[in-house]
Amino acid sequence: MNCVLGPDNILYDTLLFRVIYDGVGNVLPCWLSYVVAGIAMMMILVNGVLLGAGLFSWVERRLIGRFHNRIGPNRWGPFGSLQPLADLVKLLVKEDLTPRGADRIVFTIVPVAMLAPVVLVMAVVPFAKDTALANLNVGVLYILAVTSITSIAIFMAGWASDNRYAMFGASRGVAVLISYEVPVVMSLLGVVLVAGSMSLNDIISAQTIPFLLVQPLAFFVFFAGTSAELNRTPFDLAEAESEIIAGYHIEYSGVKFALIQAAEFGAVLTSSAVMVTLFLSGWSGPASNYLGWAWFLMKIGVLAFIFSWIRATFPRLRIDQLLAFAWKFLLPLSIINLFATALEVYFLRDGAGNLDTSDLWIMAGINFGVAFACLLVFGTLIKEKVRPAGPVTGATLTPGEAD
Amino acid sequence: MPIKTEPMTVNIGPQHPSTHGVFRLRVTFDGEEILEVEPIFGYLHRGTEKLAEERNYTQIVTLTDRLDYVSSMINNQAYCLAVEELLGVEVPQRAKYLRTLTAELQRVASHLMGIGFFLQDLGTLGTPLMYAFRSRERILDLFEMLCGARITVSYMRPGGVFFDAPDDFWPALDQFLKDFDAEYKEIEQLILENEIVMVRTRGVSLLPLDLAINASVSGPVLRASGSDWDWRKMDPYDAYDRMEFDVPVATGGDNYDRFWVRIQEIHQSIRMVKQCIQQIEPGPSRADVPLILRPPAGAEAYGRVEASKGELAFYLVADGGISPYRCKVRSPSLINLTVTEHLLVGWKLADMIVTLGSLDINMGEVDR
């Protein structure tokens, strides 16, 4: 009995899935081999994301150590690379506390609810040629829908912990996530317009030049919005260390804490992966038929480095300034970008509705001008808003008279 | 439809990363906004003033180290000035310069820590703090060369300083001053014009000058509100009458100005250290005073200095014995804390943390 996957199946494009399915299908019934292949893919996905999260936690700690003029973890393994493993063991054997007033069920679900969207996002991201687990035709929509689960998880954590700091963190986190969802969606619409599809595979193949050049404003908005959704400085209000200690996950310890941390570090990687796919032409590059995964990982690494760099440098914004930044700065920018892109696509497309590379270059030129002008104008506007009138106080040194 | 909300009372501290020690604030919030603030302190009370009545005059120097433990040199100085006034001892010139030099180095160290933690409270992930600590470590190494201790130095004694500086201290100091300019420039470039620092601190938690004076606030907090009051200028002690320096004054009285004044004071302190190196001359480093001091009964003295946090003073009353009858500490941090309620009410939770950082309080000094 030989099972063959039809091309109409969303998993048809995944080469590994088909290999496992065919191989197992020789011994098992088709439905069972489908399940087996699916579980195998899921194992790869979950473990890949968790391993990546562990690795990234080490890389980021080393990097931030360097930014701090420190060495960073260097004790276990070459350059301390086994540090995440040591942390994991430590957290696993720690007592897993649940506060007395906590809502036990919700409290326990939270770590899983936080990790799930991070893993789920990776399901549609192609990390080399034909390696996306599911080639959804609504991939962008799926990513946006799945990442929204995080806001519910954060609110659950804050509510279930029975802690006022956690409640602060949760309300901040939800406010930030809901506000930043809007400009992020708007900025992605520009990309979808240019690519003419919501499937991530199509978006990659449409990127004859990276959309970073074609959609600079959208990239800026998406990057800022994503770092807000990831709760990283300068937008890390939901877990502001110096204000509300750890925010929504203040009461978590042991393995639950490990899962939440894994979700946070993993989220940086998956967000970078999404950004690479949408703006940096994904796995494509020289010899991408064979080295696609290398290009993909390299681009993720560059973005993750930028995330770490920003995290190590900037102070935190206040909640009202953060929301103002979303609604008064990022949202207008993304709307301008959407309109500009829509007009350009309308005038530049050919009869079949397609754009060729020269059209993309023209769009890149126009959009860079638009982005520069917009950032200049809005930057000045916001600067005047946030700086009180008058000269910078304290600009004088007055010699005191001794008497 | 109006949304029904109710105020929430939260205890910030005593264990909280941003209260600079064991300090507790009972805060009533309306959402994120502060309605009521009640500072509660005393968690670090060690009875320093009472202990001083049981120690002899030289031993009390070690108690002063533990008041404001990030600027112990200046605490030593204030206490020694008070004892010298009790005894009527004249301090040798070299000792005066050594005291001025170490006090200014300590001020740099203390302000670096103030700036670093202020930015930590603003939410940076430790980078400016680590930059500041890099220079502070060098200063502490210099102190180690002088007296063997880094934090609780006990370097000054009634009548002078403990030991003269060792020979290898001066080249090390020169090397430090040479490196410090570049290191400090890095800190300034990283933070001074940072847009987020500006947004978060400009115009926040204003302290008007009249309130500051009425609350007898002192130090950088007062000078950020527009007064140029500085004991080093007003009533020069030790070698400050021969030092040439400016008093940085800001007029805004907001968090940024308090931060800015500290940044500028570091420049002035370094200027004074350089002058000390030029002017210091060989000579004895301690006046000839007996080991056990017995000031005359009924003598009173008030020794005050411009410490890194404000006006620090020791009021001593002698009863003819080997320990003082009364030792009162006027600690700047405690008095600067009295304006907390005015500074915090109406601002947000995030501002509260930053304002506490800008006051640069030290709980060892507040609780004594």
Q: Is the ipTM of this complex over 0.85?
A: no
Element (H, E) at B174: helix B169-191
CB contact under 8 A, A315 and B224: no
Average confidence (pLDDT) over B165-193: 86
Examine the pLDDT at A392 and tell me if it is beyond 50: no
At A123, the pLDDT band (50, 70, 90 cuts) reads: confident
Q: Which residue matches tokens 């946070």?
A: A264
CB contact under 8 A, B18 and A394: no
Q: Which residue matches tokens 């506000």?
A: A179
CB contact under 8 A, A68 and B126: yes
**Global pTM value:** 0.84
Which residues in chain B are closer than 8 Å to A396, comparing Cβ atoms?
249
Rounded to a whole number of angstroms, the distance from the CA of B182 to the nearest CA of chain A is 15
Would you give the end-to-end CA distance of chain A in angstroms? 104
What pLDDT is stored for residue A390 in this prediction?
40
Which residues in chain A are closer than 8 Å to B10, comparing Cβ atoms?
164-165, 168
Q: What is the CA radius of gyration of chain B?
A: 21
The string of pLDDT tens digits covering residues B222-269 is: 988 888 888 888 888 888 888 888 888 888 788 888 888 888 889 889
Cis, peptide link before residue A117, omega less than 30° from 0 = no
Average confidence (pLDDT) over A333-345: 86
Cβ count within 10 A of residue B219: 27
The string of pLDDT tens digits covering residues A156-212 is: 888 888 888 888 888 888 888 888 888 998 888 888 888 888 888 888 888 888 888
At A241, the pLDDT band (50, 70, 90 cuts) reads: confident
The dotted CATH code for B42-367 is 1.10.645.10
CB contact under 8 A, A316 and B254: no
Examine the pLDDT at B182 and tell me if it is beyond 50: yes
Closest-approach residue (CA) in chain A for B244: A399
| Dihedral sign, Cα of residue A211, residue A213, residue A215, residue A217 | positive
Considering only residues 60 to 89 of chain A, which have any Cβ-Cβ distance to chain B shorter than 8 Å? 64, 67-70
What pLDDT is stored for residue B111 in this prediction?
92
What pLDDT is stored for residue A394 in this prediction?
41
At B140, the pLDDT band (50, 70, 90 cuts) reads: very high
Q: What is the DSSP string of B44-99?
A: T---HHHHHTTS-TTTHHHHHHTTSTT-HHHHHHHHHHHHHHHHTPPPPHHHHHHH
- CA A33 – CA A36 distance, rounded (Å): 5
Closest-approach residue (CA) in chain A for B131: A68
Token readout for A287 is 């010899």
Instruction: Point out the least confidently predicted range of A108-112, A139-143, A359-363.
Output: A359-363
Average confidence (pLDDT) over B74-78: 91
- Using CB atoms, which residue from A172, A318, A397 is nearest to B200? A318
Examine the pLDDT at B122 and tell me if it is beyond 80: yes
Task: Choose the mutation target among A232, A236, A318 for the interface with B, i.e. most B CBs under 10 Å.
Answer: A318
Examine the pLDDT at A78 and tell me if it is beyond 80: yes
Greater pLDDT, B199 or B55: B55
